[in-house]
Amino acid sequence: MIRTKKQGLLMVLSGPSGSGKNTVCDIAKKAMPNIWESISMTSRKPRRGEEDGKDYYFVSEEEFEENIKEGKMLEYAKFAGNYYGTPRDSVKKMLDSGKDVLLVIEIQGALQIKEKVPQALFIFLLPPSMKELKRRLRLRKTETEEKLMERFETAYKEINELPKYNYVIVNDKAEEAALKLEAIVNAEKCRVDRIEEVFLDTDEEKLHEELVDKDLVNKPLDL
């Protein structure tokens, strides 16, 4: 009876470093095969083991800036001297084909997308506590204590942007957080504004006419 729009759903997942965005996303994608995770573009050099077109689209700084000028970036930002961003064309192609697109990006980029595509779905991932966030960052053992504290301070600022999102998920256990993400996506798919058409075939229409009591329909309600 209901035909939903073919256009895919654009989703943005953000959260502080250490909130577990990539882990939750990887689990959720296994349960939702229609989701395509967007590949970011960057002007930094590939690290060992990274592949162009799989981990990132690796381009020169000049090429990235040319894409910005030509309006080919859905969002972008510059960190530590390198550009990072989301190519517009690849996202549009997937959405038009009916794929749901998930962007796992920083809050700065998410807010850019909200200005351009306000109907997108914005989800914020939180750690269960700031103490747990600090523990997770320390477990990485990839940064100095000074750099770790910078990330921790940034997390406080980022959490202040939470009211600009549609949903919030607390990531205590990654599996449970992924289930919540799946539930949010399924709920959004049921929104009335995603319905393209409501239709009844001939047999259904006949059955409806037989069941409707016209006298009851015309009788005013006694409230």
Per-residue pLDDT reduced to its tens digit, 86-139: 999 999 999 999 999 999 998 889 999 999 999 999 999 999 998 888 888 888
Residue 32, in any domain of the structure: yes
pLDDT, tens digit, for every residue of 158-177? 899 999 999 999 999 999 99
**Structure confidence at residue 145 (pLDDT):** 78
- What is the Cβ-side half-sphere exposure of residue 208, based on CA atoms within 13 angstroms? 8
CATH number of domain containing 126: 3.40.50.300
Residue 8, in any domain of the structure: yes
Question: Both ends of the chain: CA-CA distance in Å?
Answer: 32
Residue 67, in any domain of the structure: no
Residue 216, in any domain of the structure: no
**Structure confidence at residue 206 (pLDDT):** 59
Strand pairing of 41-42 and 57-58? Answer: parallel
Residue 172, in any domain of the structure: yes
Lowest mean pLDDT segment, chosen from 42-46, 155-159, 177-181, 195-199: 195-199
Residue 85, in any domain of the structure: no
Residue 143 gets the label, from left (phi > 0), alpha (psi -120 to 50) or beta, of: beta
Q: Is the pLDDT of residue 85 over 90?
A: yes
Mean pLDDT of 202-211: 59
Which amino acid, one-letter code, is at 202? T
Q: Any bridge partners for residue 79, and if so which?
A: 82
Residue 46, in any domain of the structure: no
Residue 184, in any domain of the structure: yes
Which amino acid, one-letter code, is at 190? C
Q: Is the pLDDT of residue 27 over 90?
A: yes
Residue 195's domain comprises 2-38+99-204
Q: Is the pLDDT of residue 196 over 80?
A: no
Angle separating helix axes 21-31 and 174-189, nearest 10 degrees: 60
What's the domain count of the chain? Answer: 1
Q: Phi and psi for 118 in degrees, rounded to 5?
A: -65, -20
CA distance 34 to 78: 31
